[in-house]
Structures are given as C-alpha cells and as structure tokens.
Amino acid sequence: MAQGIRRPHEAIDFAAIERMYPPPPEYFETAYFEDRETIERKQLARLIDRAWRAYEIPFHRNRWDAAGFHPSHLKTLDDLWKCPSYTVDDIRISIDNNPPYGDYQGVTPALATREPMRVYMSGGTTGKSRPTFYTAWDRMAGAVFTARALYQLGIRPGDVVLNSWAYSTHNGAMCFDEALYSWLNCVVLTTSTGNVTSTEKQVELAIQYGATAILTTGDYLFRIAEVARSLGYDPEKDLKIRALPNIGDADLLSSTFGAPYYRSYGFHEVQWVASECEMHDGLHIYEDGFIVQVVDVETGEPLPDGSLGSLCVTELYKTGTAQFRYNILDLSYLYPKGQCGCGSWLRKIGPFAGRGDNMVKLRGVNLWPEGVGEVACSVSGTLPDYFVTASRVNNRDELSIIVVSGRDSSQFADIQAEVERVLHGRFGLKISASVVRPGEIDHLTEFLTSPKPKRFKDERGG
C-alpha cells in the first residue's frame, strides 16, 4: 500500500461480493430460488451486523437512543419494527444542523485514502438535494443489484447499450454504467442526454452499433422514437431494442419498440431493490440485500400485506452510509409470502404508485398526483406526459392537470372534457384539465434538465 493509499483492487474483496451477492446470470440459477427459511436466516444475520455498524453513525445512534432501541434487541426479523424509521425530512434537518454532509454519513472525505469513495446528490425532485457517500464496496456491491435488474429486464452480457442518463451529480448514470461494465460485460456508449449528444446522433449510434437497450427515462425514449421516424427509421424494426429498463408507459413502450416491458424499483441511496419476472405479477425484492416493510404514510405504523403505503427500506450490504428503516415515501404494497409462478420464494412488492409526500387531501379524499396522471393519460388522444398542480382558490383546495396530446388542436376541447369526465368518475371530485402540444410543459417537468421528470407542484403555500 503506497503511502497509505489503498487502490480499489486493494479495498474491495470481489470474491466476497460474488459469494455474498451473486451477480447475474449466476444469481438467477442459485439464490433466486432459495427457500424462505434460508432467505430469512441470511437476512437476520446480515441485519444484526448492519445494525451494529449503523449504531456507530451519530444520526442513527442518537435517534435509536432517544427511542430506546439498541442493536442487541434484534433477535428476530420482526424485531426490526422496534427500530424508529426516518424520512428525507430528517436527513434535511441533519444537513442543516451539520453542513454540508449531515451526520448521517458513515464515512467522510478524510477516509478516501483508506477506501476510494464517491459522493452523489439526489435529484432534488422532492426538495433540497441530499448527498450520500458510497465506499468502493458500496458501489461495487450495489452495482450487482442493478446488474440483476438489467439482466432480468432483458440486457445480456456482450450487449451494446446506450447510457443516455445525465452524467451529473446524480447517482443514476454511473449506477447503470458500473453495473453494465463491471458485472454484465456490456459495451457501454456513454452518450448522456440529448443536450450532450444530440438525439439524432443517438439514433444513428443505436442503429450503427446495434444497441439492444437505451437507458433513459421513458419520456426521452419516446423522443428518440419520434426523431428516428423523422429520419426515416422504424423504431421497432430499425432499432434493435430488446430490453426496456425505462420508467414510463409500459404498453406504449412495448408497442413502440416491439420489446417486453418489465417493471423495476430502486432509489438514490441504494441503487436497485426489486424487479419483475416473466410472470408480470409483482417485483421480486433482492432479499439478500434488503428488507422492505410497508407503513402508513401519515402514522408510520405497519400495514397488512396488500395495503398501499410507504416503502420503508433497510439495506443489508453497505459499509458506509446506512439506510436503516428509511421511510422512502415511495408508494407500493407487499405481496403475501409465497412461491411465485417463476419458482422464486422472494417476497414481492407492487409497482411504484407515487410519492407519499405528494399526497393531496382534496375535500376529504387522499389523492396522489401520479395516480391522477395515470388515469388522465389513459384517455385516448393523450401522451404519457402530464403535470399536476395543487392550488388554493376562493379558500378552497383545487387540483388541476395539464396533459399532452399529439393530435390536432381542434380535438383538444373534446380530449379535455373526456379527461375531466374520467377523473371525476374515478375519484368523485372535479379536477380541471387542459391540453397542450408536446414540449409545452417541458419547463414544468424539467424534462431536459432533471434526472427524472417532475410531475407535481403545490402552490397552496403554508
């Protein structure tokens, strides 16, 4: 070790990662089919170890001490419920009180010579960006989970893949890059967004090199398809896309590119958590790396299987910053324990259903903007692009939505009326709608500049 510096190959035990968290395709031939007893025995051992290491971090120690919780209390997996959860608001307070990194980090820049590390910021779509330090182990082990998702979604070793995510302070682009390069042996073309590599150039690169996947938002993938058509190409025939690891309209993505769509789920601090199998009935949690609970959005109390609530995630693999009962405020639900038709005993969650912190209580009814958008965009003539606004009008809370349509503007009035009718029928409330042309809400969604499109703004003030 020269001058006290440990290089990545010295800091990471790659064999240990492969043994503890098998990468694809080996994972889908081994641990993916473990029985519940084996899964839970492994989880408990890793949970106890993770708790003791998390207890060394001031953020967690202070919260646990105040709640009367101690790592020694963990005797069963159910004991995890004794540990207090936390949300992004607690992280923001930590940053304000301990700038600039907060006291929730498990490592600091001063330790970078011992183990190389990276720091990434959240996209800030729900408020102030939050930094997270990742040790070299965290990046490489986390890349395994992303590689599993990409494999299950159709990418195979040796594929050429365009990585069209924005390479910035956000985790997204490098999360995919590391997984593709380190664990799937793919050839990665790092095009980044259309602002870096023009969309026309991205189409040409995809066709020239036979890319099997373009990693980006569903919205931008549709833009790529639109540009491909303008250049005289058929997206389904001329683009050789066979994997769609994109967040967007499943049916439209599949029909546009002629490839199956599989849902998956991950977030900034831990990379990928779960992905869908060929049964298309829930997303399998990578339980060797995560324990997922579902809690009531407002109270944080446990919810029964099948009930929509907020995901509360505990990771079991990291060595740096810990996510231990992190109430991520993403909405989903847990499937009951049981064996999937694919043969796996891994627990499953439902697809992402919106953000808990975006909940709008409108005349006694709880609404989530993502749910409103999904219903509105199911109306014929609309595209999967929308923006929801909550406002205060004449001392009354109101909700409105802008939807996008590629049809002639002479049809906009009829589409608007139908969207309002469908929303009223689904939610029992009047939600006003307006219809615009493609691109006209990009300044609201920050489609071209944000790591993921923004869909909601609350203008009601305090």
Give the CATH number of domain 2-139+265-349; options: 1.10.730.10, 3.40.50.12780, 3.40.50.2300, 3.50.50.60. Answer: 3.40.50.12780
User: What mean pLDDT do residues 419-433 have?
Assistant: 92
Strand, helix or coil for residue 300? coil
Spatial distance between the Cα atoms of 52 and 358, rounded to a whole number of angstroms: 34
Spatial distance between the Cα atoms of 140 and 215, rounded to a whole number of angstroms: 19
- Reported as a single tens digit per residue, the pLDDT across 328-376 is 999 999 999 999 999 999 999 999 887 877 777 776 677 878 889 989 9
- Reported as a single tens digit per residue, the pLDDT across 106-140 is 999 989 988 899 999 875 544 567 899 999 999 99
Q: Which residues pair with 387 in a beta bridge?
A: 402
Task: Name the nearest CA neighbour of 271 among 347, 379, 414, 171.
Answer: 171
Domain boundaries, the chain: 2-139+265-349, 154-261, 359-458
Q: What is the pLDDT of residue 58?
A: 97
Q: Superfamily for 359-458?
A: ANL, C-terminal domain (3.30.300.30)
Q: What is the pLDDT of residue 169?
A: 87
Q: What is the pLDDT of residue 248?
A: 77
Same fold for the pair 2-139+265-349 and 154-261 = yes
At position 27, the amino acid (one-letter code) is Y
Specify the pTM. Answer: 0.82
Q: What is the pLDDT of residue 213?
A: 97
Whether 153 has a pLDDT exceeding 90, the answer reads: yes
The more confidently predicted of residues 170 and 254 is 254
Q: What is the pLDDT of residue 128?
A: 65
Strand, helix or coil for residue 338? coil
Element (H, E) at 235: helix 235-238
Task: Calculate what percentage of the chain has a pLDDT beyond 70.
Answer: 95
Spatial distance between the Cα atoms of 253 and 260, rounded to a whole number of angstroms: 8
Q: Is the dihedral of CA 214, 215, 219, 220 positive or negative?
A: negative
Task: Name the nearest CA neighbour of 74 among 321, 287, 314, 302.
Answer: 314
CATH classification of 154-261 is 3.40.50, yes or no? yes
**For the sheet containing 160-163, what is the strand order?**
187-189, 160-163, 213-215
Task: Calculate what percentage of the chain has a pLDDT beyond 90.
Answer: 74
- Reported as a single tens digit per residue, the pLDDT across 244-253 is 998 878 888 9
Spatial distance between the Cα atoms of 448 and 223, rounded to a whole number of angstroms: 11
User: What mean pLDDT do residues 438-454 have?
Assistant: 82
User: What mean pLDDT do residues 224-228 have?
Assistant: 95
Whether 462 has a pLDDT exceeding 80, the answer reads: no
First to last CA, the chain: 55
Distances in whole angstroms, Cα of residue 162 to Cα of each of 140, 150, 380, 413, 438: 21, 13, 31, 39, 24
